[in-house]
Structure 1
């Protein structure tokens, strides 16, 4: 599945959630989708959690 198709599907899910269930349900679904995407990237090895934590702490790395 291409990134465009995935993005369109995610947008459709979020739009339907907002229309059917309201703003707070939309926000909950959006946060859950972000957490799921981050967990998937960590599992694939495409997101370095240690580097991300260092960035939030203000530490910079050139490597």
Structure 2
């Protein structure tokens, strides 16, 4: 499935949530979609947990 189709489905889901559930449902669906995206990238191996958590004294960027 290419990215255009995935974007189409995500847009449709957000549209339905906004229409039937209001703005709060729209935000909830958008936030859960973002969490799902990050988890999916993590499970595919594109992200590592160390990229999100860094020691406070670590100055590397």
What is the TM-score when the length of structure 1 is the normalising length?
0.80
Q: Counting helix residues as a fraction of each chain, which structure ranks higher?
A: 1
- 2:40 corresponding residue in structure 1: 40
Off by >3 Å, runs of 4+ in structure 1? 57-61
The equivalences for 1:1-63 within 5 A come to 1-54=1-54, 59-61=59-61
Deviations 1:2-48 (A, max 9, x none): 00000010001001110111000110111001001100100110112
Unaligned runs of 5+ in 1: none
CA distance, structure 2, for counterparts of residue 18 and residue 38 of structure 1: 22
- CA RMSD of superposed structures (Å): 1.7
Unaligned runs of 5+ in 2: none
What is the TM-score when the length of structure 2 is the normalising length?
0.82
